[in-house]
């Protein structure tokens, strides 16, 4: 899942240096609009619906990957 999220970040934001511990705001500089766009892209790519209550407080790439993995079966 990490590779898939990294691919989205590279294609959409030209961000390539990403690990599970990378922080969306502090290290990648994504604002709330950018993050919501990332969520929408992930929902479409993986054909899932992410709950706002779950992703609202996510800060790292790893947290998003773990959540997506729990939904994609």
Q: CATH no. for residue 26?
A: 1.10.1200.10
Domains identified in the chain, total number: 1
pLDDT tens, position by position, 25-37: 999 999 999 999 9
pLDDT tens, position by position, 3-62: 999 999 999 999 999 999 999 999 999 999 999 999 999 999 999 999 999 999 999 999
What are the structure tokens assigned to 71, written together?
């939904």
- Residue 66 sits in which domain range? 2-71
What pLDDT band is residue 73 in, cutting at 50, 70 and 90? Answer: confident
Long-range contacts of 9-17 (CB under 8 A, 24+ apart): 9/38, 9/61, 12/37, 12/38, 12/41
Residues of the chain above pLDDT 90, percent: 99
Predicted local distance difference test score (pLDDT) of residue 13: 95
């Amino acid at each position: 899942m990490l590779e898939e999220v990294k691919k989205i970040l590279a294609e959409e934001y030209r961000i390539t240096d990403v690990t599970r511990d990378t922080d969306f705001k502090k290290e990648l500089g994504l604002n709330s609009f950018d993050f919501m766009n990332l969520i929408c892209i992930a929902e479409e790519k993986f054909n899932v619906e992410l709950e706002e209550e779950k992703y609202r407080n996510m800060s790292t790439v790893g947290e998003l990957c773990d959540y997506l993995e729990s939904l994609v079966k």
